Chains A and B, each alone.
Chain A
Amino acid sequence: MATSPAAADASLIAACKRGDREAFRLLFEKYKDRVYSLALHFSGNEAVAQDVAQKIFLKLYTSIGQFRGDAHFTTWLYRMVFNACTDEQRKTRRLVPLEGGAVTAAERKAERRPQEQAQFRRQISDAVRGALQGLKPELRQPLVLRYVEGLSYQEIAAAMGCSSGTVASRLNRGHKLLARQLSHLRGQLDR
């Protein structure tokens, strides 16, 4: 009989709580991309994202016993990632706002031939990721959860511990700020 994802998670987590290193490896494989991806988008820096991801999994290993199971595991994970990123940002101040060079590169790519669309798309992605760093954390979080994790407003609200209305309001502000910061890319997006 097929096991549901939630049941599989519960089984893995229970094994991790017993100190099963192999189960922890499986849990790592399952969530490593999501953790790293969230950390990268939230921090905007690959080195920081790697540090944060490492810390998250170490913390996960040591404190998974504290996971109560009354919330989704991913919700718990999201909060750990955001808290770790915030701590890291406060500690290292390595996070920098989007540099003009990245946008310039994206613009330059955008002017190239259509066969370079994939690369162009990646450049836009880098530019948006950079622009995210100029936003306040409370605006950055819902954007990352929406577009990187693909969560609904309700799921974002659960992860952030706020109402759906607040999520809508913050996303509204976040979208507008992104649009203002990267308005010069408007023409490129239409291509």
Chain B
Amino acid sequence: MTVGAAACPAPKEEEQELMFGHVTNRLSAYCNGELNAAEAQRVESHVAACVSCRAELEEVRLGVALASHLEPVAAPESLWQRVEEALDRGEGQAERAPRLAWLDWRAAATVAAVLLLGIWLAMRWMPGDPAVPAQPSVAGTPARSAQQSVSFDLGVFLRPVQAAGEDVSFERLSSAPPGFVERKREEKFSLEWLNRLLNGPNEPLPGYTLQSARTGAADGAPIIQLVYAKGHDKAFSVFVAPRRVEFKFGKEYAYEAEVGGIACRRVDCPMQRTFEFGEGGFKCVLVTKWIADEDAARVMRFFLDAYRDKAARGMGSGLLVPSVHAAPAPAAPAQAAAKDDERTRLLSIGEKLFVAKCGSCHDSDGSKALTSGPPLNQRALTDEVIAKNVEPRLRSATPEEKQAVAVYIRSFLKPPAD
């Protein structure tokens, strides 16, 4: 009956050797001189007494004799010509280009994430504002995944905003959406605090202060609106989204423009001008009828820089995080010690991640030569550039891990040039 044979396959060579002392699995090593003297002696003794292994040895010997006829073959003379022609055609460069493009792309994605956090926070602390619908109207946008763009009516945000001064409790901010950084040190947020943060020494535009901020959502995409005003009748709003959001603001009239060196899409309407800008998935819209183009460029640059700066510190995608532009306060000794401990901890985390994720190209200390220029540790990179490059390479890492890697990279870099 064949069933038995099928159910009990022939033992493998290793099993045979264990069961019967056969040496079939060592015959090639024996023929190739890869066994030590004792092992070779054992094979010879066994083969002398075992008909089965002797037959196997003969077969292996024939295989070895045949394989020994294999010889190195010289490459044809034309090979270099083929390679050189391909290089001259740019085939070599074609594979290098995406690496560079990839760097830019990653930086852009980082910026986008920062802005959205701020919007979301603003919405959360003004739930009782009757002027702000709990669910902003969404124009004809079925539910979409987070990877797709969201379309909403910008008009819902152009309503009276809440006056400054109302504190916002941390509890209301504790359910940040995935990817957002939750504040854990601050007990409360306030618009005054926001003013200090965003309208301090690095205010978007001199003379304009943050009057209000609120957040909303469209198809799950959090949006923040920041309203800056100067006096009673001059103001501008900045809408920030953490990912690609399609703002509707008379887009049939929109055109690509460059304002103060910043690429944007702008719409010039009689009542207002809008500048849509951002990088990658990060999206921002500046709405104003008051400020000049050069001032609009300053505002746009401020938000882009704030986003990059924050991302460089590994603080996630939210814009409204105090360390963005806040001057470091003198730390008490205990605080300084705690800060050192924290830095040591981050360095340790960052080093491990850097070695694992980046070590192949940069070595563990950034000293490895690169085809694109000097080694990493010979470069004077800004935090912004570090963050730009860290973010996309550690997409699955937590914000703290990204921050840790940025801190570690900072530790071996040359200081950025002023």
Within 8 A of B (CB), among A57-105: 57-59, 61-66, 68
Chain A neighbourhood of B74, CB < 8 A: 33, 36-37
Within 8 A of B (CB), among A17-46: 17-19, 21, 25, 28-29, 32-37, 40-41
Give complex CA distance A35, B361 in Å.
Answer: 24
Q: Is B48 an interface residue (CB 8 A)?
A: no
Within 8 A of A (CB), among B360-387: 360-361, 369-372
Q: Is the CB of B70 within 8 A of A41?
A: yes
Q: A58 contacts which of B27, B68, B71, B86 (Cβ < 8 Å)?
A: B86
Q: Is the CB of A178 within 8 A of B67?
A: yes
Chain A neighbourhood of B80, CB < 8 A: 25, 28-29, 32
Q: Is A48 an interface residue (CB 8 A)?
A: no
Q: Is the CB of B96 within 8 A of A176?
A: no
Q: Is the CB of B26 within 8 A of A32?
A: no
Q: A143 contacts which of B59, B67, B92, B360 (Cβ < 8 Å)?
A: B67
Q: Which of B28-36, B199-207, B215-223 contacts A (4 or more CB under 8 A)?
A: B28-36
Chain B neighbourhood of A174, CB < 8 A: 28, 63, 67
Q: Is the CB of B359 within 8 A of A17?
A: no
Q: Is the CB of B75 within 8 A of A36?
A: yes
Binary A-proximity of B15-49 (CB < 8 A = 1, otherwise 0): 00000000011111101101000000000000000
Question: Known contacts A32-B80, A62-B96: does B59 contact A179 (CB below 8 Å)?
Answer: yes
Q: Is the CB of B96 within 8 A of A175?
A: no
Give complex CA distance A132, B68 in Å.
Answer: 13
Across the interface, name the chain A residue whose C-beta is closest to B56.
Answer: A176
Q: Is the CB of B32 within 8 A of A171?
A: yes
Chain A neighbourhood of B62, CB < 8 A: 175, 178-179, 182-183, 186, 189
Q: Is A180 an interface residue (CB 8 A)?
A: yes
Least CB distance, B161 to chain A, in whole angstroms: 52
Q: Is B73 an interface residue (CB 8 A)?
A: yes
Q: Is A119 an interface residue (CB 8 A)?
A: no
Interface size on A, residues (CB 8 A): 60
Chain B neighbourhood of A185, CB < 8 A: 66
Interface of A is mostly: helix
Question: Known contacts A61-B92, A169-B13: does B70 contact A148 (CB below 8 Å)?
Answer: yes
Q: Is B159 an interface residue (CB 8 A)?
A: no
Chain A neighbourhood of B64, CB < 8 A: 175
Question: Known contacts A37-B73, A54-B79: does B371 contact A65 (CB below 8 Å)?
Answer: yes
Give complex CA distance A122, B133 in Å.
Answer: 85
Across the interface, name the chain A residue whose C-beta is closest to B369.
Answer: A17
Across the interface, name the chain B residue whose C-beta is closest to A125.
Answer: B69
Across the interface, name the chain B residue whose C-beta is closest to A64.
Answer: B371
Q: Is the CB of A50 within 8 A of B66?
A: no
Give complex CA distance A169, B24 in Å.
Answer: 9
Chain A neighbourhood of B184, CB < 8 A: none
Chain B neighbourhood of A57, CB < 8 A: 79, 83
Give complex CA distance A33, B79 in Å.
Answer: 10
Q: B360 contacts which of A33, A41, A66, A146 (Cβ < 8 Å)?
A: A66
Question: Known contacts A36-B74, A36-B76, A148-B70: does B82 contact A180 (CB below 8 Å)?
Answer: no
Binary A-proximity of B255-284 (CB < 8 A = 1, otherwise 0): 000000000000000000000000000000
Using CB atoms and an 8 Å cutoff, list the residues of chain A in contact with chain B.
14, 17-19, 21, 25, 28-29, 32-37, 40-41, 50, 53-54, 57-59, 61-66, 68, 121, 124-125, 128-129, 131-132, 143-144, 146-149, 152-153, 168-169, 171-172, 174-180, 182-183, 185-186, 189
Name 15 interchain pairs, CB-CB below 8 A, sorted by A. A33-B73, A35-B75, A37-B75, A50-B79, A54-B83, A54-B86, A62-B96, A65-B371, A147-B70, A148-B70, A149-B72, A171-B28, A175-B64, A177-B63, A178-B63
Listed from nearest, the 3 A-B pairs whose CB atoms lie closest are: A175-B63, A36-B75, A179-B62
